[in-house]
């Protein structure tokens, strides 16, 4: 009998999946930035490439642990991935800000905050990631020369705070949904376990009813043919009666079973021992 998946295992797998997607977005998204920045003077290529490479490396680490994913590993890889991206964005945003022409600032940070809300393994990790994207953008703005700051569009870079509010709201909503899904998963798992137990008990009862019936009827015949055996047969009757009463206690499980086609002609031994 295959045990139902554990709640922790289910949670770890979801966290692992979210982290894998985040690292994948880094691996693909950051090198794409090179295309956008191809005409930007003095734009270093290595931050985007290094960030993308780190995303690939973290994906490999996660992939290696795909059979035994843990929430801890998912959190660690997610945060390392975000940290690598922030370092790269810190460097590239300086080159963007200094480049001629208008730059809409910190687009990657805004996108990153929203993506973190959708992919973070949990509420705390997600909040840290969103805080990282927003904090880095504001800190970077403060480190730029006044001349560069004055080139920013109206409301920039403070619009990122609106993104932060939306990202945190999305994260909270998602955390609530995950908590609900966990509760439903727990109820479902308990229901499956109860069904299995009920099936095994009822199979046991059905399996024993026939031999008990045989013993009872055989005792009736013996009582008729050998009246002198009455004291011994009384003991058999009492023992059979006790077993019947035990069997009756299993009746409470009848209402908990959802019968399937496989139950139409079941093999009781298989139901009890599981194969």
Residues binding another protein (CB under 8 A): 202, 205-207, 209-214, 216-218, 220-221, 224-225, 240, 244, 251, 254-255, 257, 259, 263-267
Instruction: Classify residue 146 by burial, with Cβ atoms within 10 Å: 0-12, 13-18, 19+.
Output: exposed
Residues with Cβ within 8 Å of 219's Cβ and at least 6 positions away in sequence, in order, are 233, 236, 237, 240
DSSP state string for 156-188: TTTHHHHHHHHHHHHHHHHHHHHHHHHHHHHHH
Rounded-to-10 torsion of CA 86, 90, 95, 100: 90
CA distance between the termini of the chain: 7
CB of 267 to another protein, least distance (A): 5
For another protein, the closer CB: 5 or 211:
211
Residue closer to another protein (CB basis): 181 or 220: 220
Give 49 or 240: the residue with its C-beta nearer to another protein.
240
| Under 8 Å between Cβ of 142 and 91 | no
| Nearest-angstrom CA–CA distance, 203 and 273 | 10
The one-character DSSP state at 3 is: P
- Whether the Cβ atoms of residue 132 and residue 82 lie closer than 8 Å to each other: yes
State the residue for tokens 């399996």. Answer: 207
Q: How far is the CB of 259 from another protein (least distance, A)?
A: 5
Say how far apart CA 132 and CA 109 lie, in whole Å. Answer: 9
> Smallest distance from the beta carbon of 258 to another protein, in angstroms?
10
How many other C-beta atoms lie within 10 A of the C-beta of residue 18? 22
Nearer Cβ to another protein (1/264) = 264
For residues 33 and 92, is the Cβ–Cβ distance under 8 A? yes
Nearer of residues 149 and 256 to another protein, judged by Cβ: 256
Cβ proximity to another protein, 73 vs 200, nearer residue: 200
Closest approach of Cβ 270 to another protein, in Å? Answer: 9
CB of 217 to another protein, least distance (A): 5
CB of 56 to another protein, least distance (A): 53
Query: From the CB of 4, what's the least distance to another protein, in Å?
Result: 23
Q: Which of 142, 144, 51, 44 is nearest to 97 (CA)?
A: 144
Q: Which is nearer to another protein, 166 or 207 (CB)?
A: 207
Minimum gap (Å) between residue 251 Cβ and another protein: 7
Would you say 6 or 209 has its CB closer to another protein?
A: 209
């Amino acid at each position: 009998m295959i045990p139902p998946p554990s709640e922790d295992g289910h949670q770890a797998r979801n966290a692992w999946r979210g982290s894998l997607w985040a690292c994948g977005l880094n691996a693909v998204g950051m090198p794409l930035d090179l295309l956008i920045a191809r005409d930007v003077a003095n734009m270093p290529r290595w931050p985007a490439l290094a960030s993308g490479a780190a995303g690939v490396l973290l994906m490999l680490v996660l992939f290696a642990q795909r059979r035994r994913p843990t929430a801890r590993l998912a959190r660690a890889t997610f945060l390392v991935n975000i940290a690598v991206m922030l370092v790269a964005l810190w460097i590239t945003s300086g080159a963007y800000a200094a480049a001629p022409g208008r730059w809409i600032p910190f687009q990657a940070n805004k996108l990153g905050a929203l993506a973190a809300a959708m992919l973070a393994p949990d509420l705390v990790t997600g909040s840290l990631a969103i805080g990282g994207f927003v904090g880095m953008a504001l800190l970077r703005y403060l480190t730029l020369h006044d001349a560069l700051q004055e080139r920013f569009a109206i409301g920039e870079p403070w619009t990122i705070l609106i993104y932060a509010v939306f990202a945190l709201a999305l994260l909270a909503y998602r955390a609530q949904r995950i908590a609900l899904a966990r509760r439903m998963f727990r109820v479902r798992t308990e229901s499956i376990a109860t069904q299995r137990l009920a099936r095994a008990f009822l199979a046991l009862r059905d399996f024993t009813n026939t031999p008990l019936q045989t013993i009872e009827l055989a005792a009736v015949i013996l009582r008729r043919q050998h009246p002198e055996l009455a004291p011994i047969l009384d003991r058999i009757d009492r023992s059979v009666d006790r077993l019947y009463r035990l069997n009756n206690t299993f009746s409470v499980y009848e209402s908990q079973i959802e019968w399937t086609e496989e139950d139409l002609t079941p093999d009781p031994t298989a139901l009890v021992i599981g194969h």
